[in-house]
Structure 1
Amino acid sequence: MDNSVIKTNSSVSSDSIKMQERLAIFLALIAGYIDATGLIQWKTYVSFMSGNTTSLGAGISTGKSEIIITSVTVISCFLLGIYAGTCLSLWKRIKNQILTFYIVSGILIFYTIIAYFYDINNLSSISVIGFSMGMMNTIVTSVGNQKVNTDFVTGTLNSLAKNTAMLTMTDDKTEKEEYKSNAIHLLLLWIGFLSGAFIAPFLLDYFGKWTLMIPALSLMICGLLISKINFKN
């Protein structure tokens, strides 16, 4: 089943690929922003599970229970978010994943409002945000024929290097165009994540406890715009 929020035919049109690419970059920017916010506020990655897995292994070997509990919690909640998002994408009553935009946005808005009035402990915070990041990772899973992950960059960089290598090694013009296109998509995705992580510290200093409202409202607006596009089509 196609997990993309954009309606497509069996052959993916160039317009659909462009829309998928823009959406993937937007989601990567949001993920980078929230991941950097989590790292600054709670000293934990909320979407970069490779880093949390490393922390978990180190925590187990050194016997640091706090690190173990934190890492297990955020990894588990991230997996639950992916599970929930995937189930939504496979639910026959849902034609696209616009609902996931609203759910993730709603979680972030609800968390921000509660956190403004009450002091939420770090473990609860990373549980909620980690779950929402897992869900968001299921919105766009490919750009054209290239599989992508918008919430973490290890796979993105791996695929970027592989496509670049295949681009330089092949003499077939069709393959060259495909590998070049994939490499550009992946590079832009990485830049999107990096940009989100870059701007997060500045906006965190300015907005404080309201900082997660920015990605929350951005996701909601994006969902509304895509709904409008799909309605016209």
Structure 2
Amino acid sequence: MASDSSHPASPDQDHRLSAHRHNRVGLVLVAGLSVLAGMTDAIGFLSAGDYVSFMSGNTTRLAVAIALGDSATLLRLLLIISLFVVGNALGIVVARLSGRQALPLLLLTAGLLAAAAGWSVGSLPGAVLLPLIAAVLAMGMINAAVEQVNGQSVGLTYVTGALSRLGRGLGRWLLGARHPDWLMQATPWIGMLGGAIVGAWLQHHLGLMALFASSGWAALIGLASLLIPRRWQLHYMPR
């Protein structure tokens, strides 16, 4: 009788396989959320002339407004930046109160974006400013959905840090380091770029109503997060 040549996986192999799946799922989640950020940012920028997730750009614009004495732009950008900080704080609070699960956070994000899109319909008072406020809060909040993957920090609504970490990883690789983890930093950049392209196209055809697409995407990611093991979500999210 022929002997069975198959062997059960060793504990070390099981651990490596689980870690690989954990990292891969985390990167998919980062990509999806970066698409959301890019999409929403492009819609907000084309509709109101302001970024809703890219606060580095808004900070530079704020500095220019201060230097030029443009008080109207200065006050608007101060409001946007402050709301983004508040949104991040709210994201942490919601995540902590919900037991550090992504679904409640992303459903609330979807609700804010849907409210923003709905308010823009019918030329209601504040038909641009109020949707902008809701979108900025939403973009601040989603940063609490994922903070790290495989021990590496990731940014969802900004990519300067990701590109910097990507470049530093490339430098170490050129010097002989062969750990490929730094390549994951390309994920949020690619996601935001692709999302911004989609968002720009949608805004061109729908205006601020394109935020309904952002809302639907946020809800879809939230529902998909139910498939992620709880212990993995705890590793991704801020403590």
Fold agreement, TM-score > 0.5: yes
Question: Normalising by structure 1, what TM-score?
Answer: 0.85
Name the structure 1 match of 2:182: 182
Amino acid at match of 2:64: A
Looking at structure 1, the residues matched to 176 and 89 of structure 2 have their Cα atoms a distance apart, in angstroms, of: 38
Q: State the number of aligned residues.
A: 215
Structure 1 portions without partners, runs of 5+: 1-8
Name the structure 1 match of 2:72: 66
Q: In structure 2, which of residues 102, 125, 142 is the aligned counterpart of residue 97 of structure 1?
A: 102
- Alignment pair present for 1:221 and 2:227: no
Name the structure 1 match of 2:50: 44
Structure 2 portions without partners, runs of 5+: 1-14, 233-239
Name the structure 1 match of 2:111: 106
TM-superposed CA distance for 1:230, in Å, is 4.1
Runs (4+) off by over 6 Å: none
- Alignment pair present for 1:159 and 2:165: yes
| 2:59 match: secondary structure | helix
Identify the range of structure 1 (117-126 vs 159-168) with the bigger mean alpha-carbon deviation: 117-126
Name the structure 2 match of 1:210: 209
TM-superposed CA distance for 1:85, in Å, is 0.7
Looking at structure 2, the residues matched to 58 and 110 of structure 1 have their Cα atoms a distance apart, in angstroms, of: 32
Amino acid at match of 1:86: I
Amino acid at match of 1:98: L
| 2:121 match: secondary structure | helix
Name the structure 2 match of 1:4: none
Instruction: Tell whether the 8 Å contact from 1:73 to 1:123 is kept in structure 2 after alignment.
Output: no
Q: Structure 2 vs 1, CA of residues 203 and 123 (structure 1 numbering), >3 Å: closer, same or farther?
A: closer
TM-superposed CA distance for 1:82, in Å, is 0.4
| 1:137 match: secondary structure | helix
| 1:212 match: secondary structure | helix
Looking at structure 2, the residues matched to 32 and 101 of structure 1 have their Cα atoms a distance apart, in angstroms, of: 16
Question: Normalising by structure 2, what TM-score?
Answer: 0.83
Q: In structure 2, which of residues 122, 133, 138 is the aligned counterpart of residue 132 of structure 1?
A: 138
Percent identity reads 25
